[in-house]
Amino acid sequence: MINQTSLQPGVTIPPDDPDRRLSVSDPDDPKLRHVAIASGTYTILLSGAETNGRYCLVDMLVPDGGGPPRHRHDFEEMFTLLEGEVEFTFRGETRNVATGVSLNIPSNAPHSFKNKSGKTARLLCLCTPAGQEDFFMEVGVPVASRTAPAPKLTKDEEEASIKKAVALAPRYRTELLRP
């Protein structure tokens, strides 16, 4: 088996890019972008603009009962559960994931998650390459902070939000799937 993280013979590491800067992100920084989506509050910790498009990092607060519907996309998505317990469904198989566990969703694989724990869960989500953070910001509703609750939507507002997500998903290499 070839270790693909090692350099192959004849391949050199590019020089340091002095135009790129160290990114330091505090999830409670009010200057960060916070958005309510899928009944949770997501904070964009690092965007593609800060990572040269390589990845985005999102802090997710997911209330009991919250989580995205079944979907798939053509980029990798990794989660680390920082607090709580969440039920992940991957290609139709469901498993409970508890604090401290990390998992990787391969690109194009159908998946979803739902918080059924009775308490708020907190996840760290890394998508590579970047772009998912832009989808979240376009579909969601901006909120004031990482801990701000998602606004309560009327039935009409919820239907409009779903229609908007369905319409925008292809632009962000995402497909929302029927249950």
* CB within 8 Å of 7: residues ≥ 6 apart: 13
pLDDT at 78 over 90: yes
The average confidence (pLDDT) of the chain is 93
172 within some domain: yes
- The enclosing domain of 82 has a CATH number of 2.60.120.10
Per-residue CA distances from 66 to 3, 32, 39, 62, 118 (Å): 38, 22, 5, 6, 10
Q: Is residue 6 part of a domain?
A: no
Q: Across-strand partners of 159?
A: none
Range of the domain at 151: 33-176
28: in domain? no
27, part of any domain: no
CA torsion 137-133-160-116 (nearest 10°) is: -120
pLDDT at residue 178 in the model: 81
pTM for the complete prediction? 0.91
Mean pLDDT of 30-53: 95
Q: Token pair of 19, please?
A: 């135009």
pLDDT at 3: 55
The total of structural domains in the chain comes to 1
pLDDT(2) > 60: no
Reported as a single tens digit per residue, the pLDDT across 7-19 is 778 888 999 999 9
